[in-house]
Amino acid sequence: MITAAADGSALGNPGPAGWAWYVDDDRWAAGGWKRATNNQGELKAVLELLRATAHLDDELLIQCDSQYVINCVTKWMPGWKRKGWRKADGKPVLNQDLLQELDDALVGRRYRFEWVRGHAGHAANEAADVRARAAATAYQQGGAVPSGPGWAGAPAQGPVEDAPAPPASLAEAAAEDRKSSADATLFDFDDPTADWLTMTLELTSEEHTRLVERARESGRTPEEFLRGLI
């Protein structure tokens, strides 16, 4: 099995952006664009990892800190494809070009995803993050992009295309990225049969104490108080 981390970085949303996948110091790659969103970087990192290992028959364990990417692949894409790449509300799926390329790259592959917490000391994730941010910084400063050694024996890739066009305004891009990330973390919004949805929330001791206190003040349980916020 090949274990690899994939990560994206955007200095602004959209802004100079980078992507990277990392196996070890001899097998990694990075790239980016002058203007893209964080979610585009996250998707591109997984796509390029799949392309770099397409000549191999090993199972691939992809470590991501983006639940948006994981849910796109493992939950939402089949429904989006059935609906002509539209969401449950009828609006076009964001980042459709990258998602379609990712869908093609997954055909015939043996893979699974593992979610890892970002910026929490996970060695491979940190290595991918450093390289993605370095690529984004290179585009921001106009320097050489540290592209990495890639994977020996991988098929030659053509020139990297421009990123899919991000939303026109900074505010729109930031809102879309926040919504996509929130959707991935909280709910599967494209499951029309779901009458009850489960949410996992991690709190610090201080946050939990504040939640209990505010729930008590409102005369509700913490669970009821949270449902009211949502």
Q: Looking at 7, 48, 176, 183, which residue is catalytic?
A: 7
Rounded (10°) CA dihedral 52, 56, 58, 64? 10
Whether residue 111 has pLDDT greater than 90: yes
Query: 8 an active-site residue?
Result: yes
Which of 32, 42, 148, 176 is flagged as catalytic? 42
Compute the average pLDDT of residues 190-201.
48
pLDDT at position 37 over 60: yes
Exposed e or buried b per residue across 92-113, where buried means at least 16 C-beta atoms within 10 angstroms of its C-beta? ebbbeebbebbbebeeeeebeb
pTM of the entire structure? 0.74
Mean pLDDT of 60-75: 96
Quote the pLDDT of residue 163.
Answer: 52
Q: Dihedral of the CA atoms 67, 56, 149, 71 (nearest 10)? A: -10
Catalytic residue at 119? yes
Q: What residues form DSSP beta bridges with 29? A: 21
Section 188-200 average pLDDT:
45
Sequential DSSP letters for 106-152: TTT--EEEEE--TTSS-HHHHHHHHHHHHHHHHHHHT-------B-T
The residue from 48, 65, 126, 183 that is catalytic is 65
Q: Which residues pair with 30 in a beta bridge?
A: 20
Interatomic CA distance for residues 77 and 113, integer angstroms: 15
Q: What is the pLDDT of residue 188?
A: 43
- Give the lowest-confidence range in 35-39, 46-50, 150-154, 204-208: 204-208
Active site residue 25: no
Residue 182: pLDDT band (50, 70, 90) is low
* Cα separation, 168 vs 202, whole angstroms: 34
In the residue annotation, 42 being an active-site residue is answered as: yes
Active-site pick, 48, 126, 129, 176? 129
Q: Tell me which range, 77-81, 127-131, 176-180, 225-229, is most confidently predicted by mean pLDDT.
A: 127-131
Q: What is the mean pLDDT of the chain?
A: 83
Cα maximum dimension of the chain = 64
CATH architecture of the domain 2-169 equals: 2-Layer Sandwich (3.30)
- The answer to whether 24 is a known catalytic residue is no
